[in-house]
Structure 1
């Protein structure tokens, strides 16, 4: 069990962030444990040809058999919405001795041998970090950034908006109780109980001590987790609310249903398709990517649907997220 002990001011310094680098690294788990990530499988199938052009031996080696990853691969975000390349630069700058220790902790200390590609580089950790960064950047650029990340970012943004409302309405106790079943809060102590015996054996007590606790939603978590060394600033990742919607409406997804004929007759095929896609929040650019049309065309349809009361809008910084309203949900229901 991990315990995070809060002082008087520590709760005020608790904040939320998401990390594109963390999603890139931890998302590799979905390739190995397909049953835990069904919503990611259509995406993985869609970019398989591009994935095979990468250094797949190294990418596959970044996830240990027990699902651990070396902690240097997922540095704590410094801002709520970090840039992927800025995070990658911090990863490359990790001191070589930390890189080596983190790799050994994820594999050898947990009772697993190093994969050959890591064993060949472990005594040159600076080169290992550089090669990992180069490979992750190629993976990001070719597979994730064009379409997957805009969709993922919308789900993560929606989670942050939901948590902010929850904190305002129910306070810290309600917020922590809603994050994950592994997390509990009592008398200024946040507890995380992992179901993995290997992780439980690493459990410790951590004083937040003015450093601030960062809570990170992820699409790649099988439950709330923290870093396995606890040498750095305290953090907890937890499954993002709405992650199961990642494949909804995805072109080519097995079993994906089109809009009901009556809805098409009422508002037209383009707007009906948009309404079906917006069971989960999305922005104009993401919707344009998914439909293969211009952002301007999508924007006009979104404006009409919102004016009719079928969509709700939420602003997140410079972006506007759209989601079906209650009326929109009712219109998308299929009649028996």
Structure 2
């Protein structure tokens, strides 16, 4: 049965977006054990394979059943719109052991025999120690799997938030939900969001509003089902993940490089989604100062536009920039 999230009068006014590096870490660990979710991420999987072998992820995988409950406290809704990983992991370490014990028991019960493994017995016997042990493990997973690519991931997630925030302002909640994912349904007569997801969950938002959280590693699913005391939240696949791991130089036509110069053309072609200077510099392997100079020239030429999001400026292609980047014939290719 689908999940049902019931909106009160004030809840549509309290829709907000957030990004969580802790969530991405947890979902990346899950992807390693789920071939179904690996399609878009094969370049990343090949690059991090050796680092992943250096981290014992078995205890975390034990808490990730194919169906049913996973511990909310291990990847809670974001504590603020753009929290730092270490801020989130420090908050995790303060989890009430009673709450952790209940989460452990529910999650382990979803997989036959999980509670009888050595890791399962440790979690049930000493939840207070186990939550710190698992927090340490998540921190190692973050450093090995996510931190090296976080600028690129964050840029994609921030671009998704910027895009959908604009769509919410332009078309309202019902249109936004219809665009986010096919699993979302909106019943106007009851002010209820349904999420077509395995399991059953019913929750009244009660004035807390709803956090919408784009995710790179959640694809192809949407995820919800957070119980009190957690903030009502829905995670959905971010836009643009199909080209996330494609290097910009692989997309830059030689004809465009001859017209604009290789580096400047790479910058233009890398902007499939809005991005900031530091994210582009990381993606292209260029100095931030060089990328900034190229962005200024491209914007002055009418190929880019810019707008502020939080503490950074995001650049995106204008219609003319899109036409050049995606339609340029490449005479050097057959």
* TM beyond 0.5: yes
Question: Which 5+ residue runs of structure 2 have no aligned equivalent?
Answer: none
Judged with a 3 Å threshold, the aligned counterparts in structure 2 of structure 1 residues 304 and 95 are, in CA distance, closer, same or farther, namely same
Judged with a 3 Å threshold, the aligned counterparts in structure 2 of structure 1 residues 52 and 270 are, in CA distance, closer, same or farther, namely same
User: 2:96 maps to which residue?
Assistant: 95
Equivalent residues of 1:19, 1:77 under 8 A apart? yes
Judged with a 3 Å threshold, the aligned counterparts in structure 2 of structure 1 residues 223 and 230 are, in CA distance, closer, same or farther, namely farther
User: 1:144 maps to which residue?
Assistant: 146
**How far 1:169 sits from its partner (Å)?**
1.2
Judged with a 3 Å threshold, the aligned counterparts in structure 2 of structure 1 residues 230 and 242 are, in CA distance, closer, same or farther, namely farther
Greater alpha carbon shift after TM alignment, 93-102 vs 34-43 = 34-43
**How far 1:22 sits from its partner (Å)?**
0.6
Question: Which 5+ residue runs of structure 1 have no aligned equivalent?
Answer: 251-255
User: 1:64 maps to which residue?
Assistant: 65
Judged with a 3 Å threshold, the aligned counterparts in structure 2 of structure 1 residues 38 and 323 are, in CA distance, closer, same or farther, namely farther
Q: How does 1:20-59 map to 2 (within 5 A)?
A: 20-59=21-60
Structure-1 separation of matches of 2:122 and 2:63: 14
Judged with a 3 Å threshold, the aligned counterparts in structure 2 of structure 1 residues 169 and 264 are, in CA distance, closer, same or farther, namely same
Equivalent residues of 2:101, 2:127 under 8 A apart? yes
Structure-1 separation of matches of 2:184 and 2:40: 24
**How far 1:212 sits from its partner (Å)?**
2.3
Q: How does 1:166-185 map to 2 (within 5 A)?
A: 166-185=167-186
Structure-2 separation of matches of 1:276 and 1:135: 37
User: 2:239 maps to which residue?
Assistant: 241
Structure-2 separation of matches of 1:163 and 1:247: 22
Aligned length: 325
SS of residue matched to 2:125? coil
User: 1:215 maps to which residue?
Assistant: 212
Offset from partner CA, 1:207-238 (integer Å, 9 cap, x none): 21122222211112222221364663322112
Judged with a 3 Å threshold, the aligned counterparts in structure 2 of structure 1 residues 110 and 188 are, in CA distance, closer, same or farther, namely farther
Structure-1 separation of matches of 2:78 and 2:11: 18
Judged with a 3 Å threshold, the aligned counterparts in structure 2 of structure 1 residues 287 and 20 are, in CA distance, closer, same or farther, namely same
- TM-score, with length taken from structure 2: 0.88
Judged with a 3 Å threshold, the aligned counterparts in structure 2 of structure 1 residues 276 and 34 are, in CA distance, closer, same or farther, namely farther
Offset from partner CA, 1:283-318 (integer Å, 9 cap, x none): 211222222221111111111112112222232111
Q: How does 1:111-260 map to 2 (within 5 A)?
A: 111=112, 113-114=114-115, 116-146=118-148, 148-185=149-186, 186-196=188-198, 199=199, 202-204=200-202, 206-221=203-218, 222-227=220-225, 229=227, 232-249=230-247, 257-260=250-253
Equivalent residues of 2:155, 2:275 under 8 A apart? yes
Judged with a 3 Å threshold, the aligned counterparts in structure 2 of structure 1 residues 248 and 50 are, in CA distance, closer, same or farther, namely same
RMSD of aligned C-alpha atoms? 2.3
Equivalent residues of 2:277, 2:292 under 8 A apart? yes
- TM-score, with length taken from structure 1: 0.88
Equivalent residues of 2:197, 2:222 under 8 A apart? no
Judged with a 3 Å threshold, the aligned counterparts in structure 2 of structure 1 residues 309 and 171 are, in CA distance, closer, same or farther, namely same
**How far 1:334 sits from its partner (Å)?**
4.5
